[in-house]
């Protein structure tokens, strides 16, 4: 099982449904492997979600794949593409976050916002009082950028400005603002990382079920043998899914697990 976080395990107020916790833990007790599969970096997965207990994680929108606590695949962004994206964000005065495996690195304007949310999970590249131009030699490989936007034009400006080697998708993390989004290397997505995990397990796509709700979940839903869209998903996501469950506020994950025989007990 591969489960998205925002809009799937938690709602957009970051509330975690008890039934989702019970579904994951119950399925694992029954011998099934359950992975979180999110656009968040590892440092951005808050304890209420990580404390559920998973067999591994796909993070940064497919940038990292982890199995049993071990990093088994990393799809880092080439430094020249990363530099070009940062140069654009700074010239356009758009705040951004770099997602590495061990930490996240925010631009100055987002430092205070993220320090309140993430604390020690923030990486330090000396930007708190320094110039807003990061020294990329001081940080580990970066898989993905996210950007903050409240101006309605922010997303389209980013999408239209960046090189075709980079893909721009709408963001689902609440602290990115209404017009925020995420930037990754074209062709790197959750579906690619699911294949990495399945290969490590000696399994194939037909062994996988994926559940998600947003644009960055489309590839995971199409790669998995069964792709399930949440009831709160957009029409484009539902169109590629094999089936649709109920919404995040209506026990959607739990009901999907029941339907596929992963659980047989009532909600705990």
Please indicate, yes or no, whether residues 61 and 85 belong to a single structural domain of this protein: no
Last-in-domain residue among 185, 200, 218: 185
Q: How many domains are there within the chain?
A: 2
- Taking the whole predicted model, whether its pTM rises above 0.85 is answered as yes
Residue 265 counted as domain residue: no
pLDDT tens by residue, the chain, 268 residues: 999 999 999 998 889 989 999 999 999 999 999 999 999 999 889 889 999 999 999 999 999 999 999 999 999 999 999 999 999 998 998 989 899 998 888 887 766 656 555 555 555 544 333 335 667 777 889 999 999 888 889 999 999 999 899 999 887 666 666 788 999 999 999 999 999 999 999 999 999 999 999 999 999 999 999 999 999 999 999 999 999 999 999 999 999 999 999 998 554 4
CA distances from 29 to 55, 199, 250 (A): 12, 23, 23
Same domain, 71 and 193: yes
**Residue 211 structural domain:** 2-75+188-259
Q: Decide if 142 contacts 98 (C-beta within 8 A).
A: yes
Helix axes 18-29, 252-259, angle to 10 degrees: 30
29 and 84 together in one domain: no
CATH number reported for the structural domain that contains residue 254 in this entry = 3.40.50.1000
Grouping H, G, I as helix, E, B as strand and the rest as coil, residue 210 is: strand
- Selection from 210, 165, 172, 170 nearest residue 191 by Cα: 210
């Amino acid at each position: 099982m591969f489960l998205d976080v925002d809009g799937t395990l938690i709602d957009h107020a970051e509330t975690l449904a008890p039934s989702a916790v019970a579904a994951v833990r119950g399925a694992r007790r029954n011998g099934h492997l359950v992975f979180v599969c999110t656009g968040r970096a590892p440092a951005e997965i808050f304890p209420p979600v990580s404390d559920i207990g998973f067999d591994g994680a796909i993070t940064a929108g497919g940038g990292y794949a982890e199995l049993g606590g071990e990093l088994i695949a990393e799809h880092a962004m080439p430094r020249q593409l990363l530099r070009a994206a940062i140069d654009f964000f700074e010239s356009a005065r758009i705040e951004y976050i770099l997602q590495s495996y061990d930490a996240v690195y925010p631009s100055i304007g987002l430092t205070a916002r993220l320090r309140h949310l993430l604390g020690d999970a923030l990486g330090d590249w000396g930007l708190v009082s320094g110039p807003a131009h990061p020294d990329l030699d001081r940080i580990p490989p970066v898989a993905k950028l996210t950007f903050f936007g409240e101006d309605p034009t922010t997303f389209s400006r980013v999408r239209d400005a960046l090189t075709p080697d980079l893909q721009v998708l709408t963001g689902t993390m609440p602290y990115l603002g209404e017009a925020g989004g995420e930037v990754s290397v074209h062709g790197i997505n959750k579906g690619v990382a699911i294949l990495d995990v399945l290969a490590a397990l000696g399994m194939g796509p037909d062994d996988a079920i994926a559940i998600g709700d947003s644009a960055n979940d489309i590839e995971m839903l199409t790669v998995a043998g069964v792709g399930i869209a949440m009831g709160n998903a957009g029409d484009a996501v539902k169109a590629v899914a094999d089936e649709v469950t109920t919404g995040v506020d209506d026990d959607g994950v739990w009901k999907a697990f029941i339907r596929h025989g992963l659980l047989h007990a009532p909600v705990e």
